[in-house]
Amino acid sequence: MTNKLRTSFLAMPYAIWILICTILPLFYILGYAISNGDGSFTISNLTAIADPVHLKSLGLSIQTAFITTVICLIMAYPVALILHNLKITNKGFIVFLFILPMWMNFMLRILAWQNILSNNGILNSILSAIGLPTIHILYTKGAVILGMVYDFLPYMILPIYNSLSKINDDIIEAAADLGAGWLNTFIKITLPLSKDGIISGIIMVFVPALSSFVVSNLLGGGKVLLIGNVIEQEFTLARNWNLGSGLSIILMLFVLLSMSIMNRVDNSENGGMLI
Amino acid sequence: MKKKFISFLSLLCLTFTSCFSFTGCKSDASSSDTLVVLNYGKYIEADVLKRFQEETGITVKYEEYESVEDMYAKYKAGSINYDVICTSDYMIETLGKEGELIPIDYSSLKYYKNIDPAIIEASSSFDPTHKYTIPYFYGTVGILYNTKMVDEKTVSSWNSLWDSDYSNQIVMINSQRDAFMVPLKLLGYDINTTDKAELDEAFNMLCDEKKYVYAYLMDETYECMVSEDAAMAVCYSGEAAMGMEYNEDLAYVVPEEGGNLWIDSWFVPRTCKHYDAAMKWIDFMCEEEAATANFEYVWYATPNLTVAANEDEETLADETVFPSKETLERCDIYSAYDNETLDYTTTLWKKLKAY
């Protein structure tokens, strides 16, 4: 009993933190979302998502987040696999290398991409130096996706690597003993057993990509309007906190929806979710 | 152990990346020798701020903001009681209509006489009774272009922004009001029009322009022009002057259809708790030495007549910095939109961005 009391006491700071910094603001947002400027009740801020402009940017956000997640998955899985199969003792160090870029502020790294991709940037200088035609990529949807992939890739690699590390080598060896080839082992053993990691990775990439607005601000040049940008502009430029909150709630619903879909796919008993 | 280390690392990274957006809140101090100032970013010389504190013994809590809209949001949030604020014409008009301004005691100002009467006169559009504001800087909106890529004749009209030859070479200004000003001027309408048909026409032109636009930028415009990533950019005169410092191929013009003249002024908001200190601050900003230092840092046109004595002829003849009389005659000052027009243009702006 005393033990239980003590642990719950230790959880107090976190509980207070959650209450003040997560739950209260959520109620504030909900309050704003279901009222208008005069403070009377309305659902028009929620139904505003049906506005063609909002629908279009939500669609664009989903599309961008989806492409980003797929590219991240395609790039991350082989990396995680190679990392796992490396026969060196200090794997922690390799993983550390993957996270190292994240120690530098994310804004700075995106700003660096601006310099690389701009019309007269590093990429185009290299292209023209070797006699290839220059490309126009900065301030396009492509640049936004590139920025997101770059930013979120580690969040895909780490959970997949983690889940691969959990697979008992004996199982793989048993499969080999029973005559399964490399591909067969991969499809029937490795892939299903790393499903937890894949799902965690997908959620950790898809959710922030869906609500991101900074990357599209910096690499979209004001031409790529994601739902995050719409919400940001409602709060700042248009000073319409009610509409901004209403759209945030809708976006939250989409996040919850995508997470519940992924959770349904993940029907394994140990449920090794990262979030 | 290793796994623990990895999850610890990823947690650490999550915390780091999510922390960057947090900004601190400062509580306001109510002792008599402090002053809370709100101004645009990079809009004062650091030494001037230091000298004011040394000479008057007043501790200044200096806060900055990016855009007019940010300023309004900060002020309206009400968590800080600002004593003196500098912002742009139409926002001052809006705040005036909301009853947020306190009259300035001009008799307590020693250096008010330094301010150009012509600019005070021009302030009538947002301060008709001349009771509430002191001009700080002024400037125009025009086209900054690269003389190697664009002919001077081409940019003498706003039409050049619809020229397919410069596809992906045009930087448009990322500010709703200024962006709409361009097609409105080109169509020959009043830049303060509230007529929806006229605004719609301007909106259609902006949509048409979007396919040629490299990016909609504000603060990054001059870097983009200096590195020659674009051929022309719609921007403020000070931004242009800054760019021309770094790249001598750049030039600035206010097209013949005319543009916008903006005036940034100091005013005292209703939240003011240190009125005397605020007066001292405003007076200090009008003083010759401070005004000169600020001008040489900010590089926008100063309404302070004493500054001219300290500058060489080349600077004074620079029409990017000091717009000529003819240019100013072509330019209009924004007046505040009523709520309906503001909502309408905001919607159009959003549609343009999603277009």
Min Cα separation B346/chain A (Å): 6
For position B250, what pLDDT does the model report?
95
Chain B interface, best mutation among A196, A205, A229, A237, by max B CB count within 10 A: A237
Name residue A212's amino acid.
Answer: S
Q: What's residue A97's pLDDT?
A: 80
Residue B166: closest CA among B225, B216, B209, B220: B209
For residue A9 the two structure tokens come to: 């006491």
Taking the Cβ of residue B167 and every Cβ of chain A, the question of whether any pair is shorter than 8 Å is answered with no
Tell me what ipTM this predicted complex has: 0.84
Cα(B57)–Cα(B54) distance, integer angstroms: 5
Give just the sign of the alpha carbon dihedral B156, B159, B165, B170: positive
Domain locations along chain A? 51-265
Question: Mean pLDDT across the stretch A64-73?
Answer: 97
Rounded Cα distance, A237 and B91, in Å: 13
What residue type is B113 in one-letter code? Answer: K
Position B17 scores a pLDDT of: 42
Q: How far is CA A195 from CA A154, A176, B119, in A?
A: 17, 21, 69
pLDDT at A103: 85
B-chain CB neighbours of A223 within 8 Å are 210, 213, 215-216, 353
- Band of the pLDDT at A1, cuts 50, 70, 90? low
CB-CB: which of A120, A154, A223 is closest to B215? A223
Tell me the chain B residues in contact with residue A134 when contact means C-beta distances shorter than 8 Å. Answer: none
% of chain A exceeding 90 in pLDDT = 61
Banded model confidence at residue A2, pLDDT cuts 50, 70, 90: low
List domains and CATH numbers for chain B: 34-138+262-325 (3.40.190.10), 139-260+333-354 (3.40.190.10)
Tell me the C-alpha distance between B145 and B226, whole Å.
10
For A102-156, how does the pLDDT look when each residue is reduced to its tens digit (9 = 90+)? Answer: 888 888 999 999 999 999 899 999 999 999 998 999 999 999 999 999 999 999 9
Q: Which residues of chain B have pLDDT under 70?
A: 1-32
In chain B, which residues have their Cβ closer than 8 Å to the Cβ of A120?
227-229
Residue whose C-alpha is closest to residue A224's, from A234, A236, A212: A212
Contact B73 A236 (CB under 8 A): yes
Smallest CA–CA distance from A52 into chain B, residue: B351
Strands B250-253 and B101-102: unpaired
A 10 A CB-CB count for B306 gives 17
Question: Cβ of B353 and A229 within 8 Å?
Answer: yes
Q: Which long-range contacts link B17-25 to residues 24+ away (Cβ below 8 Å)? A: B17/A102, B17/A106, B20/A105, B20/A106, B20/A107, B25/B79
Is residue A84 within 8 angstroms of chain B, CB to CB?
A: no
Main-chain phi, psi angles of B23, to 5 degrees: -120, 150
HEC readout, chain B: CHHHHHHHHHHHHHHHHHHCCCCCCCCCCCCCCEEEEEEECCCCCHHHHHHHHHHHCCEEEEEEECCHHHHHHHHHHCCCCCCEEEEEHHHHHHHHHCCCEECCCHHHCCCHHHECHHHHHHHHHCCCCCCCCEEEEEEEEEEEEECCCCCCCHHHCHHHHHCHHHCCCEEEECCHHHHHHHHHHHCCCCCCCCCHHHHHHHHHHHHHHHCCEEEEECCCHHHHHHCCCCCEEEEEHHHHHHHHHHCCCEEEECCCCCCEEEEEEEEEECCCCCHHHHHHHHHHHHCHHHHHHHHHHHCCECCEHHHHHHCCHHHHHCCCCCCCHHHHHHCECCCCCCHHHHHHHHHHHHHHHHC
Amino acid at B243: G
* pLDDT average, residue stretch A14-37: 93
- Which class is A51-265 in CATH? mainly alpha
Q: Give the integer Cα–Cα distance in Å for A87 and A76.
A: 19
Cβ within 8 Å of A, B 45-104: 67, 69-70, 72-73, 76
Distance of residue A178 Cα from the nearest chain B Cα, in angstroms: 31
**From A92-96, A196-200, B139-143, the region with the lowest mean pLDDT:** A92-96
Please state whether beta strands B84-88 and B261-269 pair in parallel, antiparallel, or not at all (unpaired): antiparallel
Give the gap in angstroms from C-alpha A237 to the nearest C-alpha of chain B.
6
Say yes or no: A51 contacts chain B, CB-CB below 8 A. no
Instruction: Tell me if B354 and A56 make a contact (CB, 8 A cut-off).
Output: yes
DSSP chain A: -HHHHHHHHHTHHHHHHHIIIIIHHHHHHHHHHTB-TTS-B-SHHHHGGGSHHHHHHHHHHHHHHHHHHHHHHHHHHHHHHHHHH---S-HHHHHHHHHGGGGS-HHHHHHHHHHHHSTTSHHHHHHHHTTPPP---TTSHHHHHHHHHHHHHHHHHHHHHHHHHHS-HHHHHHHHHTT--HHHHIIIIIHHHTHHHHHHHHHHHHHHHHH--HHHHHHSTT----HHHHHHHHHTTS--HHHHHHHHHHHHHHHHHHHHHHHHH---SS-----
Kindly report the length of chain B. 355
* A99 contacts in chain B (CB < 8 Å): 9-10, 13
Between A261 and A37, whose confidence is greater? A261
Q: Which residues of B touch A238 (CB under 8 A)?
A: 343, 346, 350
CA angle B91, B93, B99 (to 5 degrees): 105
Closest-CA distance of chain A to residue B8, Å: 11
Under an 8 A CB cutoff, do A230 and B5 touch?
A: no
Select from B16, B76, B354 the Cβ nearest to the Cβ of A225.
B354
Among B10, B210, B354, select the one facing A158 at the smallest CB separation.
B10
For the beta carbon of residue B316, count every other beta carbon within 10 angstroms.
11
Is the pLDDT reported for residue A238 higher than 90? Answer: no
Q: What is the pLDDT of residue A8?
A: 82
CB contact under 8 A, B227 and A155: no
Verify whether the Cβ–Cβ distance A103 to B227 is below 8 Å.
no
* Residue B6, pLDDT score: 44
pTM of the model: 0.83
